[in-house]
Structure 1
Amino acid sequence: MYITQGLHRHLQARPNATAIRYLGRGITYAEFGDRVARLAGSLKKLGVASGDRVAMLSSNSLRYIEYYLAVPWADAVVNPVNYRWSAAEIIYSLDDSETSVLMVDDNYKALAARILAESKTVRTLIYAGDGETPEGMLSYERLIEENDPVEDARRGGDALLGIFYTGGTTGFPKGVMLSHHNVAFSSMASQQTGRCNASTRFLHSMPMFHLADFAAMVSLFSSGGTHVVLPAFTPQAVLEAIHDEKINEILLAPTMIQMLLDWREANPEAQRYDLSALERVGYGASPITPALLDRACSVFRNAGFTQGYGMTELAPVATFLAAEYHSPEHQQSGKMYSAGRPYSCVEVRIVDAEDREVPRGTVGEIVVRGPNVMLGYWNKPEATAEALRGGWMHTGDGGYMDEEGFIYVCDRLKDMIVSGGENIYSAEVETAISSHPAVAQSAVIGIPCEKWGETVHAVVVLKPGMAACADQIAAHCRERIAGYKVPRSVEFRDALPLSSVGKVLKVELRKPFWEGRGRGIS
C-alpha cells in the first residue's frame, strides 16, 4: 500500500470530478494530479533523493495537500511542521530530521529567513505563498510551471512515509516515524466505519500539519470525495463553509466544538446558516464532556457523532465510537461517553506497571498493538524501546475496559493527581465542573500541598454573561463526585492555553505552582 494509490485510482476513473475546493475555487483530479507530478519533478531536479526529508511550514491550503502527495511521489519523506512552536523548536525538528528542503507560505516567510540562517541542514527554501517570491527563495508555482511531470516512485509498504514531530511544548519534540502501511491501514479501517465515500464533502479546518487531518485526507483520496479547505479554524468560517459548501463531514477537537457553539449562541445572525447538510461530526484529540456533547447533538441534529481515540504514534487512531452509541439509550448506559472499541485488526489491553493485564473495570495504562503502531521515534532508540516494550505501544493514558470491550479514558497518567494516597483523575473532575450551567470550559491540575502531597486545583472559564464563585463550583462538584476529588481551589480565567489542535496545555497551568519543586510537569 502507498499513499498516492487513491489518487491514481481517481485519476483513472474520475479525472473530471472535483478533488479540492479552496477559497471558492475548485480543482479536478486531473488538474491536481498534474500539479503533484510536476512538483515531484521539481523536487527531484533540486536534488531531493530517495528518503530525503522535505518539510512544510504553512497554514492549510491547496498547496499543502499537493505537498503531502508530491513528496512521496518523488520518493522522499514528509515532515510537516507545527507552526505553533517556537523558532528554536522548529529549527531543532528540522535539524534532527536532517531536512534539507523547506516550503513556507506568506505567514512564515519571515521566520524562514531565520531558519535558513540558523539551521544546520536546511539549504533550500520554496515560497508557497501568493505574493512576490522573497529573495533567496524559489517560487512554488514557477517550479510547477517549469518542470515536467515525473512518474510516481510509488514509495510504499514499510518504507518511511513521514516524520511527524509530537510534543515541543514541554521540551524538544520527538519525531514519530510512520510508514505508508501505518497510515494506509488507518485509512482503510476508517472507511470500514462508514466514514468518507465518493459523496463526502469533507471540511479541513484542523491544522494540516496534524496527523488527524492528514489521515482524513488519505481516507478521502482513497474514497474519492471532495476536500474543502479552510486556511484556519474560526467558528464563523466553519459555519459559513457548512452552509455554502454543503459540507457533510467534519473533524473537530472538543475545544473547537465549544468555540463554535459559543460563537453561534453569541451571534444571532449565525442562526441563518443552514447546517442540515452535515451528516457526520468526528471528534477527538481530547475527551469531550457530557454537557458539551449533549449541546453539540442538539445543534447538529442531522449529524451522527463519532469519536476516534489515539495518538500520533498510532497513525493516529486505536479505538472508535460509532454514531449509534450517541443515543439516549447509550447515554444512560454510559457508553456514549466511552472511547469506543478497538479499530479493526487493532488490539488494546489495560495493564499495570508490570505490563500485566488488569481485570475489567480496573484502571491501568492503555497499550495498543496492530498495523497502526509507529516504526519508532527518529534517532531515539531508547525512547522507542521504552514505548514499544513487549511489542505494545504504551500510550501513557490511564483508562479501563468494560465487559463488552469498550474503552474509557480517565486521564493522562502524568496528569493524574495523587492526594493523600488517593488517585484522582482530572477528566472526572472536569466532567463534574463542566455540568455547571455557568461553566464554558475547565481544566483540573494537581498543585503542591505539604499535608496531602497534592490538592485539586480547577481553572475555569465561564460562559459570557454568567457568574459563579469558587464555593459554588465546589458545592456543585460535591453533589456529583467524592469529597476528596472536589477542587480545593478554583481560579477563573478568560481562556485556557490551547495547543494548535485544541488540547489544553496543562503544563502551562502547572508551571507557576511547580517551578523549583520535585514533581515533573512534562
Structure 2
Amino acid sequence: MGGLLTLGQMLGVQARLQGERIGAFDLERRMSFAQWEERANRLANGLLGFGLAKGDRVAVLAYNRIEWAEIYAAAAKAGLVAVPINFRLTAPEIRFILEDCGAAALIAEDRLLGPVEEIGRDLHIPADRLVHLGAGRVPAGWRGYEDLIQAAAAAAPGIAVAPEDPWCLMYTSGTTGNPKGAIRGHRGMSMLAMMTRVEFGLRRHDEALLVMPMCHANSLNFFSAFLFGGSAVGIFSRPSFDAGLCLRTLAGTGTTFTSLVPTHYEMMLDCRARAGGDFGRVEKLLVSSAPARAETKRAVMEMFPNSGLFELYGSTEAGWVTMLHPDEQFEQLGSVGREVVGSAPIRLLDDAGQEVPDGAPGELFSCSPYAFDGYWKLPEKTAEAYRGDYLTVGDIAVRGPGGFIRLLDRKKNMIITGGENVYPAEVEAVLAAHPAVRDAVVIGLPDAKWGERVHAVIVPREGAALAEAELLDWSRGRLAGYKRPRSCSFLRDEEIPRNATGKVLHRVLKAQLAATLGG
C-alpha cells in the first residue's frame, strides 16, 4: 500500500471502526458505513464480473444521488477508473468522452438514457456492460444496477490497488475546445483529502451537503475529504438547484458544511424570507468557481450567523490552489487568498517564463503533492501545462501585499482591443457592482477598428430597468477607457451557457452572439 491508504481502503477502515454511523445519504436514502462498504464491495465485484481488468474505465452518467458514493468507492476497491460525465452534455459530446477514454462499461441513469440512445450503434461498449440506474424499466440487454449488486459477493475484491494507480478520469469543461481527461490518482486524492481536512478544520462529527454535481471535481474532492476522516457525506439529490429545498435541507439536517457558487447563494438569499428555518448548525460555507460580491458575502454571513465563509480557487488538474479564510473576507476583498496548506509558493510568470513583480499580471503556476497525473493520451498537453514541477491551467493573476492572489481571467479568455489586453473577469466584477445588475459576462467581439471590442452581456436583477446607454455611461470613471464595454446586450440567466458548476462558457456565448452582434 506504500504507506498511504486509498479511498476504497479507507472506507473499509471506517466500516470497521464506526460501522453503524451514517456514512452517506441523499434526500431519499441513508446508509451506514457498514452498509456502504458492503454495497461498494458488491458493485466492485459485479463490475469485475463483466470481465473488466484493473485500469479499465467505467463511465458514469447520472444526476446527483447516493449511488455516486457507491460507484466511486467501488471503482477504488476494484482498481477501476471512474469516468464521471457531465449530465448537461449533448450526445455528440458524451460520445467523444466515451470514445476518448475507451470506456469498457457505462452506468447510466434512466432519466439520462436519451443521449445514450441517440449515440446508438456508435456506442462501442458491449451491451452486457451497460448498467441501468434508477427505478424505471431496464432496457433490453442492459443490467439493472440493483440486480448487479445483489448478485455479487459482499467481500472486498482481491485486487491489489496501489496509491500510484489512477482512480478517476475527469474531463475538463471544454471552454476552449474538446475536453481533456485529467487523470486523478489515489495518492494525490488521498493527500488532497488530508489537506482539505486541515485547511477547513474538519472533525469527525462534521457533515457535508454536496450540492455541486458529483461529476465535478469540487464535489469529488469534498466527498474524498469527508470519507477520509469518517465524516458523513450528504448528496443533494436533485437534477437542478432548488434554493428553497437547499435551505430547508440545511436547516433540517445536521449539515455543518456546504460548497456553492455565488449564483446559488444569490438564489438562496432571494427566497430566505419564504424558506425560514434555523441555520445554527452550519459552521463552514465555501464559495468557489466565481467571485462573490461584498454585499452577497455580508448577506450570507447574516443568514448563517454561526458559519465561517471560505473562498477557494482551484482546478480539476491542480486541486486546491489558494484559500481565503473567514477572517480575511473583507480585508482582502477581491482576492482568492494565499497558497493552501502543503503547496509551494505560487509563481506568476510572463510569456518568457520569468517571474513578474508584485502587482503585475502573470500566468499562475502552482506546485503541490496532489496535482493531477497528466492528461489522458495527451502527453504534449501535459508537457505544456508544466514548467518543472509547477502546473498551470492558463489563469492570469496578480500578487498583492501580503502575498494575496487576485485572479484576472483565463489567458484564453483575454480580449485584445487596440493592442491592449483586457481580462473579462476584471470588467465583470466592476459591472456586477451596479445595483440593477444580477450578473455580468464580458466577451470580445470582432471590431473593424480595434480588432476586438469589449462587449457586456447583462442579467438584470428582477424588476430592475436598465438601458445600454446607462450602463456604458456608468462604467466611465470606474474602468480605463480601453477596458470599458463598447456595447451591451441583455439576457435572462437561463440564456447564459454554463458548465456543470455554473461557470460561464465564454467561448460558447461569444459564438452565439458573434453572428448577430459582430463588427
TM-score bracket, shorter-length normalisation: over 0.9
Describe the shift of the 1:516–1:122 C-alpha distance in structure 2 as closer, same or farther (beyond 3 A).
farther
Letter of the 1:456 partner, please give it: V
Asked whether 1:53 is paired with 2:72, we answer no
The answer to whether the 8 Å contact 1:116/1:122 transfers is no
> Which deviations, in whole Å up to 9, do the C-alpha atoms of 1:249-293 show, x marking residues without a partner?
1011222222332344xxx422x2322322111121223333433
Of 61, 76, 82, 1:78 maps to 82
Aligned counterparts of 1:263 and 1:154: Cα–Cα separation in 2: 50
Tell me how far 1:418 sits from its aligned partner: 2.1
Aligned counterparts of 2:222 and 2:160: Cα–Cα separation in 1: 20
> Structure 2 matches for 1:346-495, cutoff 5 A?
346-347=343-344, 348-495=346-493
Seq. identity, %:
32
Aligned counterparts of 2:204 and 2:489: Cα–Cα separation in 1: 48
Of 243, 255, 269, 1:235 maps to 243
Of 111, 135, 139, 1:134 maps to 139
Match of 1:25 in 2: 29
Describe the shift of the 1:223–1:24 C-alpha distance in structure 2 as closer, same or farther (beyond 3 A).
same
> Structure 1 stretch 1-10 or stretch 178-187: which is displaced more?
1-10
The answer to whether the 8 Å contact 2:58/2:104 transfers is yes
User: Which ranges of structure 1 fall in alignment gaps of 5 or more residues?
Assistant: none
Asked whether 1:324 is paired with 2:327, we answer yes
> Which deviations, in whole Å up to 9, do the C-alpha atoms of 1:464-520 show, x marking residues without a partner?
11112122222332242223322221111112222221001211221145469999x
Match of 1:177 in 2: 183
Aligned counterparts of 1:380 and 1:339: Cα–Cα separation in 2: 30
Tell me how far 1:296 sits from its aligned partner: 2.7
> Structure 2 matches for 1:43-192, cutoff 5 A?
43-115=47-119, 117-121=121-125, 123=127, 124-152=129-157, 153=159, 155-168=161-174, 170-192=176-198
Tell me how far 1:302 sits from its aligned partner: 2.4
For normalisation by structure 2, the TM-score amounts to: 0.93
Describe the shift of the 1:195–1:237 C-alpha distance in structure 2 as closer, same or farther (beyond 3 A).
farther
Letter of the 1:344 partner, please give it: V
> Structure 1 stretch 374-383 or stretch 192-201: which is displaced more?
192-201
> Which deviations, in whole Å up to 9, do the C-alpha atoms of 1:226-247 show, x marking residues without a partner?
2222223221221121122132
Aligned counterparts of 2:45 and 2:442: Cα–Cα separation in 1: 51
Letter of the 2:444 partner, please give it: G
Match of 1:502 in 2: 502
Tell me how far 1:422 sits from its aligned partner: 2.3
Describe the shift of the 1:170–1:403 C-alpha distance in structure 2 as closer, same or farther (beyond 3 A).
closer
Tell me how far 1:439 sits from its aligned partner: 0.9
Tell me how far 1:71 sits from its aligned partner: 1.1
Aligned counterparts of 1:94 and 1:204: Cα–Cα separation in 2: 26
Match of 2:511 in 1: 511
> Which deviations, in whole Å up to 9, do the C-alpha atoms of 1:382-406 show, x marking residues without a partner?
1111112433212211101124222
The number of residues matched between the two structures is 508
Describe the shift of the 1:365–1:263 C-alpha distance in structure 2 as closer, same or farther (beyond 3 A).
same
Aligned counterparts of 2:391 and 2:428: Cα–Cα separation in 1: 27
Give the secondary structure class of the aligned counterpart of 1:78: strand
> Structure 1 stretch 49-58 or stretch 5-14: which is displaced more?
5-14
Aligned counterparts of 2:180 and 2:322: Cα–Cα separation in 1: 23
Describe the shift of the 1:345–1:130 C-alpha distance in structure 2 as closer, same or farther (beyond 3 A).
same
> Structure 1 stretch 87-96 or stretch 468-477: which is displaced more?
468-477
Give the secondary structure class of the aligned counterpart of 1:224: coil
Aligned counterparts of 1:209 and 1:296: Cα–Cα separation in 2: 26
Give the secondary structure class of the aligned counterpart of 1:278: coil
Match of 1:252 in 2: 260
The answer to whether the 8 Å contact 1:4/1:154 transfers is no
Letter of the 2:268 partner, please give it: L
The answer to whether the 8 Å contact 2:176/2:412 transfers is no
Aligned counterparts of 1:191 and 1:80: Cα–Cα separation in 2: 24
Give the secondary structure class of the aligned counterpart of 1:377: coil
Tell me how far 1:14 sits from its aligned partner: 0.8
Match of 1:307 in 2: 311
Of 295, 298, 302, 1:298 maps to 302
Asked whether 1:261 is paired with 2:274, we answer no
Letter of the 2:508 partner, please give it: E
Give the secondary structure class of the aligned counterpart of 2:213: coil
Letter of the 1:324 partner, please give it: D
Letter of the 1:96 partner, please give it: D
